[in-house]
Structure 1
């Protein structure tokens, strides 16, 4: 009789709702809306990135990086963005490729809200027709983003590369091409 009672008691305790599934039980807490984590895109999360751009028959390879660690890209810091670009032609009939101007329009965001942004950053070539960028030659520059609104969570840079393609290998006439790129960089807290 003791064995039968023990088996009956054991089978009854093994059935039923476990305590963590009962209403009001101290089981797994449900996430609260205020604890939601929003991921911010960061094209420089690994420290650098490479982009391949096209402008007509010109292919442009651009490498972006920062000498300032991403954890130090805070709203109050001056934030250096360095880049280097090289051009190539397909087909290559011997013409040269020049960069006449590069500009970056900066948009500062706090989540989905736009904040005041710094002036456009740019470099206009100081020589005519521009800076030679056809491989093996390249162009390198560093734009420094100034201090931003303390609420900033990211910056987006719309970069425009104005290129001049020599019409023939001996010509002093050029065709203008434009390559564009967009970088989004998270602002560290």
Structure 2
């Protein structure tokens, strides 16, 4: 009986030792090894910066609704020169037409006395030399009749720009005269503004 107990105890001891040796041979699990985890982590890489150039005439034309007091303006912009031809060295025509409406409408007329555009040129990071402002001053008094069904149309031509130009911005100002009453020779001045950004093709 004593020899059997000794034998059983010896077998149990040998089995426990084998399990211990097996665990020792496996080493530290990867999820507990901080050193190996940090060394295998990929280092972050910088993403390239993508700069989007705005182009309000990307589809060939654009339409705006502007307000100046009780006057509402509908302005259409387009160019007869394809956008891929809007290079820095080309003469670039910007055409536009506008018509006005009153809310409320008591029968007065609406006139355009002047339209002007201040031009800004950019290379995407800084401003570049720009052409002089463009303007059309009405040659008749009190101005051009623009109340629906009448309208005004014009084309401003942008000259050659700096070869590094990537976009051109036009800040447009529409100076309007609103008749005080349907039979009056007195007018109230109103102003509407708009901004058009056009990409320069390479």
TM-score where L is the length of structure 2: 0.77
Alignment of 1:118 onto 2:137: no
How many corresponding residue pairs? 161
Determine the structure 1 residue equivalent to 2:150: 137
Determine the structure 1 residue equivalent to 2:37: none
In structure 2, how many angstroms separate the alpha carbons of the residues matched to 1:46 and 1:133? 26
1:71 counterpart SS class = helix
In structure 2, how many angstroms separate the alpha carbons of the residues matched to 1:160 and 1:172? 24
In structure 1, how many angstroms separate the alpha carbons of the residues matched to 2:139 and 2:84? 35
In structure 1, how many angstroms separate the alpha carbons of the residues matched to 2:71 and 2:125? 35
The structure carrying a bigger helix percent of its residues is 2
RMSD: 1.5
In structure 2, how many angstroms separate the alpha carbons of the residues matched to 1:72 and 1:31? 35
Alignment of 1:185 onto 2:163: no
Higher Cα Rg: structure 1 or 2? Answer: 2
Alignment of 1:36-47 (within 5 A): 36-47=49-60
1:126 counterpart SS class = coil
Structure 1, unmatched stretches of 5+, are 1-21, 25-29
Alignment of 1:161-172 (within 5 A): 161-172=174-185
In structure 1, how many angstroms separate the alpha carbons of the residues matched to 2:189 and 2:125? 35
In structure 1, how many angstroms separate the alpha carbons of the residues matched to 2:201 and 2:54? 12
Structure 2, unmatched stretches of 5+, are 1-39
TM-score where L is the length of structure 1: 0.82
Runs of 4+ in structure 1 over 2 Å off: 30-33
